[in-house]
Structure 1
């Protein structure tokens, strides 16, 4: 048991460290002493393998710095992950709280809409949104938010139903408190705590989805960097120069794994808190 706790603690710290690196890369990408992600590295051949010189992570198929593109690609992945999770969580909170608190026809109407969205496969819906809208981060974030809202809403509804009949909520009703105030002051803080662990898991899904869309050519337009786009660009050279795919793929894997670990640990902490309150 002790060894397991130590392993869990180590995995959490490693996950937090990697997320901190990604956040730092996204925030400081423009200030770091890196080459331009769209410019060719002078005096260096295309597909130069990684090494201390002349380029730490090598150059891509047309001679651009892989390191610069990976660092700037972190900004895209982080914007997509956090932005889509925030939008989906906000929309899911609003609809889930309303469905769980008012119930009856409100719950039924919201449930029908959510079921209709869930009936469409997530990847198909994402491709449709990306194909119809203008290629860019905003379109990807919007599409992922639409895909994620039903899951957040169902979890918010279940969480609301779990706390709506507790004593402090009944006391607020008995005092004549308006429903809007009860939702904001009594229910929202509890439901947010229950949704927070899932938000990290959704961020992991969003990073994979963005990489998949970029791999399919529906992500950012070139020469803007994204990890999925780099994987797609390096695919024809996988046999001879695997680092062109390996470097961005490792970044995607570590980011997804880190968000998943953080979400799982947050869920355990919340479950332990709930068991103490019962």
Structure 2
């Protein structure tokens, strides 16, 4: 009996340690970079930065100096200021667009995975129809028709993310709807709303949050691609994608104008991917036992 109790207590102690070891240095480095980007983006108005839209044609493509830490662009605007204010736009679109996807897509997937039948067929068919259109081409067409604005761009990318979130929520709901705690709640006479909100939603929310971080990374890339093509946020507002697009004209003279925002976008997207993949692995029910 003493040996059994000792082995059980060792298992209880070892399990959290093994789970903590999964959060390696790359995970915490990614968290640190994300916190830095969020901090400078939020505090941009109070930081001692020049106006990102002020132009000085006498300081065009000025090199790195104490006055301009990252130099100036082709119109004499401070590159560091534009980079930080561009982070505000990229993060705004990158965060709020997946919120639309996770809200609508998560709700549809949860309902489809629980009720099944004709409703599931209708939802899955609608999402397949939306997925039939090439996402980038659809975003380009809608942006060109509705006009360039942060609101329009966020709504377009949010709608394009609905099918992916719906599939994640539906897959989780299909598995959980057959579990013992759901069957027990049904046997006790619980309503559908109570089962969905109290039993299924807390369990479906975990993989959705992990996928949300991956969606943020993808959205930042798509926003950057649209801004690079000139269909993102309207000038003089800057985002990382528009800065890369403007910097390509100066690749031979000042390649840093394209590389600096590209590196910032790369590190941010990589950080969101690393954190999202780690959380997805930790919340995957196949990684453990019940």
TM-score, normalised by the number of residues in structure 2: 0.89
Q: Give the structure 2 partner of residue 234 of structure 1.
A: 247
Moved over 2 A (4+): 5-8, 273-278
Contact 1:49 1:243 in 2 (8 A): no
Aligned to 1:92: 105
Largest Rg, 1 or 2:
2
- Distance verdict in 2 for CA 1:277–1:7, change over 3 Å: closer
**Residue 11 of structure 1 is aligned with which of 18, 26, 37?**
26
- 1:46 and 2:60 are equivalent in the alignment: yes
Question: Which consecutive unaligned segments of at least 5 residues does structure 2 have?
Answer: 1-19
1:145 aligns with 2:141: no
Matched, 1:21 2:70: no
Residue 119 of structure 2 corresponds to: 106
Indicate whether 1:37 and 2:49 are aligned.
Answer: no
2:176 corresponds to? 163
Secondary structure at the counterpart of residue 155 of structure 2? helix
Give TM-score, length-normalised by structure 1.
0.93
Aligned partner of 2:209 among 196, 219, 238: 196
2:223 is equivalent to residue 210 of structure 1:
yes
Which deviates more from structure 2 when the two are superposed, residues 209-218 or residues 167-176? 167-176
Shift of 1:132: 2.0
Structure 1 residues 6 and 183 mapped into 2: Cα distance closer, same or farther (>3 Å)? closer
Cα separation, 1, equivalents of 2:161 and 2:171: 16
| Distance in structure 2 (CA, Å) of the matches to 1:65 and 1:174 | 66
Alpha carbons 1:172, 1:182 under 8 Å: kept: yes
Where do 5+ consecutive residues of structure 1 fail to align?
none
Aligned equivalents of 2:25, 2:56: Cα separation in 1: 39
RMSD between aligned residues: 1.7
Between the two proteins, the alignment pairs up a number of residues equal to 271
